[in-house]
Protein backbone atom coordinates (compact mmCIF):
# COMPACT_ATOMS: atom_id res chain seq x y z
CA UNK A 1 0.00 0.00 0.00
CA UNK A 2 1.26 3.44 -0.85
CA UNK A 3 0.12 6.89 0.14
CA UNK A 4 1.51 10.41 0.15
CA UNK A 5 0.87 10.39 3.92
CA UNK A 6 3.31 8.37 6.02
CA UNK A 7 1.53 5.50 7.81
CA UNK A 8 -1.81 5.77 5.94
CA UNK A 9 -2.75 2.48 4.32
CA UNK A 10 -6.53 2.46 4.73
CA UNK A 11 -7.95 5.74 3.40
CA UNK A 12 -9.28 6.11 -0.13
CA UNK A 13 -6.17 8.16 -0.96
CA UNK A 14 -4.10 4.98 -0.51
CA UNK A 15 -3.02 2.92 -3.50
CA UNK A 16 -2.70 -0.88 -3.58
CA UNK A 17 0.00 -2.30 -5.84
CA UNK A 18 -0.07 -5.90 -6.98
CA UNK A 19 2.60 -7.81 -8.89
CA UNK A 20 1.18 -11.06 -10.26
CA UNK A 21 3.90 -13.51 -11.23
CA UNK A 22 1.52 -16.28 -12.19
CA UNK A 23 -2.25 -16.64 -12.48
CA UNK A 24 -4.31 -19.76 -12.99
CA UNK A 25 -7.96 -20.76 -13.10
CA UNK A 26 -9.50 -17.65 -14.60
CA UNK A 27 -8.93 -15.05 -11.90
CA UNK A 28 -8.60 -11.54 -13.25
CA UNK A 29 -7.32 -8.34 -11.66
CA UNK A 30 -9.44 -5.36 -10.74
CA UNK A 31 -9.56 -3.20 -13.87
CA UNK A 32 -9.42 -6.10 -16.35
CA UNK A 33 -12.74 -5.08 -17.92
CA UNK A 34 -11.36 -1.57 -18.57
CA UNK A 35 -8.51 -3.00 -20.64
CA UNK A 36 -4.81 -2.31 -20.16
CA UNK A 37 -3.88 1.05 -18.63
CA UNK A 38 -0.25 0.79 -19.77
CA UNK A 39 2.57 -1.59 -20.61
CA UNK A 40 6.06 -1.80 -19.16
CA UNK A 41 8.81 -3.40 -21.22
CA UNK A 42 11.91 -5.14 -19.89
CA UNK A 43 11.11 -5.20 -16.19
CA UNK A 44 12.56 -8.34 -14.56
CA UNK A 45 13.38 -9.59 -18.06
CA UNK A 46 9.85 -9.52 -19.46
CA UNK A 47 7.02 -7.22 -20.53
CA UNK A 48 4.11 -6.39 -18.23
CA UNK A 49 0.54 -5.17 -18.65
CA UNK A 50 -0.91 -2.75 -16.10
CA UNK A 51 -4.58 -2.91 -15.05
CA UNK A 52 -6.16 -0.33 -12.75
CA UNK A 53 -9.46 0.46 -11.09
CA UNK A 54 -11.00 1.15 -7.69
CA UNK A 55 -11.75 -1.74 -5.33
CA UNK A 56 -15.41 -1.06 -4.60
CA UNK A 57 -15.14 -2.80 -1.21
CA UNK A 58 -12.40 -0.46 0.08
CA UNK A 59 -12.51 2.60 -2.17
CA UNK A 60 -8.77 2.14 -2.76
CA UNK A 61 -7.27 2.26 -6.26
CA UNK A 62 -5.58 -1.01 -7.24
CA UNK A 63 -2.80 -1.20 -9.84
CA UNK A 64 -1.90 -4.72 -10.96
CA UNK A 65 1.05 -5.66 -13.16
CA UNK A 66 0.71 -8.98 -14.98
CA UNK A 67 3.56 -10.49 -17.04
CA UNK A 68 2.91 -11.22 -20.70
CA UNK A 69 4.61 -14.58 -20.04
CA UNK A 70 4.03 -16.12 -16.64
CA UNK A 71 6.94 -16.88 -14.35
CA UNK A 72 7.64 -20.51 -13.51
CA UNK A 73 10.04 -21.74 -10.87
CA UNK A 74 11.89 -19.03 -9.03
CA UNK A 75 11.60 -15.27 -9.29
CA UNK A 76 14.23 -12.76 -8.29
CA UNK A 77 13.92 -9.03 -8.62
CA UNK A 78 14.44 -5.71 -6.89
CA UNK A 79 11.03 -4.30 -5.98
CA UNK A 80 12.53 -0.81 -6.18
CA UNK A 81 12.71 -1.33 -9.97
CA UNK A 82 8.98 -2.13 -9.95
CA UNK A 83 8.14 0.93 -7.86
CA UNK A 84 10.27 3.21 -10.06
CA UNK A 85 8.62 1.82 -13.21
CA UNK A 86 5.21 2.71 -11.77
CA UNK A 87 6.47 6.15 -10.71
CA UNK A 88 7.73 6.70 -14.28
CA UNK A 89 4.18 5.98 -15.50
CA UNK A 90 2.82 8.61 -13.10
CA UNK A 91 1.00 6.09 -10.88
CA UNK A 92 2.55 7.89 -7.90
CA UNK A 93 5.60 10.02 -7.19
CA UNK A 94 9.02 9.01 -5.93
CA UNK A 95 8.19 10.75 -2.63
CA UNK A 96 5.17 8.50 -2.00
CA UNK A 97 5.45 6.26 1.07
CA UNK A 98 5.24 2.48 0.91
CA UNK A 99 3.28 1.92 4.13
CA UNK A 100 2.43 -1.79 4.00
CA UNK A 101 4.01 -4.67 2.09
CA UNK A 102 2.72 -8.23 1.74
CA UNK A 103 3.76 -11.26 -0.26
CA UNK A 104 1.96 -14.50 -0.81
CA UNK A 105 -0.59 -16.45 -2.76
CA UNK A 106 -4.26 -15.69 -3.10
CA UNK A 107 -6.67 -18.54 -3.81
CA UNK A 108 -10.07 -17.45 -4.99
CA UNK A 109 -12.11 -20.66 -4.92
CA UNK A 110 -11.94 -24.30 -3.89
CA UNK A 111 -9.42 -26.08 -1.73
CA UNK A 112 -5.76 -25.71 -2.51
CA UNK A 113 -2.39 -26.57 -1.07
CA UNK A 114 0.69 -24.70 -2.18
CA UNK A 115 4.18 -25.10 -0.85
CA UNK A 116 6.45 -22.14 -1.41
CA UNK A 117 9.41 -20.38 0.11
CA UNK A 118 9.80 -16.64 0.27
CA UNK A 119 13.16 -14.99 0.74
CA UNK A 120 13.10 -11.26 1.32
CA UNK A 121 15.86 -8.77 1.95
CA UNK A 122 14.99 -5.16 2.77
CA UNK A 123 17.63 -2.48 2.45
CA UNK A 124 16.57 0.90 3.80
CA UNK A 125 18.67 3.75 2.54
Residue 118, in any domain of the structure: no
> Residue 121: its pLDDT value, please?
74
Residue 106, in any domain of the structure: no
CATH at residue 66: 2.60.120.180
Residues 6+ apart with CB under 8 A from 20: 29, 64, 65, 66, 67
Residue 92, in any domain of the structure: yes
Q: What is the pTM of this model?
A: 0.80
pLDDT, mean of residues 52-81: 88
The domain of 12 spans 2-98
Query: pLDDT for 2-35, tens place per residue?
Result: 777 777 777 777 888 888 888 877 888 999 999 9
Total domain count for the chain?
A: 1
Residue 13, in any domain of the structure: yes
Amino acid sequence: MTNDIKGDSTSSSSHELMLWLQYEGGQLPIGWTNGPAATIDNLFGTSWTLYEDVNTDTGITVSTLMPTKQFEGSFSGDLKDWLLALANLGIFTESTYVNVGNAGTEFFYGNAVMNSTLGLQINLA
